[in-house]
């Protein structure tokens, strides 16, 4: 079984990782786990022509490493191998795209991430992924 776990550095995302660990412990064979973190770069794209080459990539890599660190620690503690995917762009679209391309059996994500007020205006990432993904999605509180 292949499980894609969306990470944004929130408590809800860590709950999603804990859920995936619990799920994995119930199978006789260990599942293939992949952590994905996506950062919306829409507001920073115009800076790319002014910033030194690779500067924005380094910035997103640092943020991603920080967000992934607690999730990786949980998976390491549970002795579960995993890989990571770091993307930029529209968050829900990227999660769905990676889920489809990797033929994941399940997408797990926190029901409530870091954003708050924006959810009221735009709808949450969790809502968008669960509404538009062709893959099974588990939202964890």
Query: Number of structural domains, the chain?
Result: 1
Predicted confidence (pLDDT) at residue 120 exceeds the cutoff of 60: no
Share of the chain above pLDDT 70, in %: 85
CATH value at residue 65: 3.40.50.620
Give 67-96 pLDDT, tens digit per residue. Answer: 999 999 999 999 999 999 999 999 999 999
What average pLDDT score do residues 86-108 get?
96
Predicted confidence (pLDDT) at residue 132 exceeds the cutoff of 90: yes
The pairs formed by 96-99 with CB atoms below 8 angstroms and a separation of 24 or more are: 96/129, 96/132, 96/133, 96/135, 98/4, 98/34, 98/36, 99/4, 99/133, 99/135
Domain that residue 36 falls in: 2-140
């Amino acid at each position: 079984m292949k499980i894609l776990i969306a990470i944004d550095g929130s408590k809800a995302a860590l709950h999603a990782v804990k859920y995936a660990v619990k799920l994995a412990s119930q199978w006789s064979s260990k599942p293939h786990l992949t952590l994905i973190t996506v950062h919306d770069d829409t507001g920073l794209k115009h800076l790319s022509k002014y910033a030194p080459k690779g500067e924005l990539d380094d910035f997103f890599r640092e943020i991603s490493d920080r967000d992934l660190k607690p999730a990786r620690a949980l998976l390491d503690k549970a002795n579960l191998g995993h890989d990571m995917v770091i993307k930029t762009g529209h968050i829900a679209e990227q999660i769905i795209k990676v889920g489809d391309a990797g033929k994941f059996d399940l997408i797990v994500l926190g029901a409530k991430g870091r954003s708050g007020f924006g959810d009221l205006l735009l709808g949450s990432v969790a809502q968008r992924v669960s509404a538009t993904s062709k893959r099974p999605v588990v939202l964890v509180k």
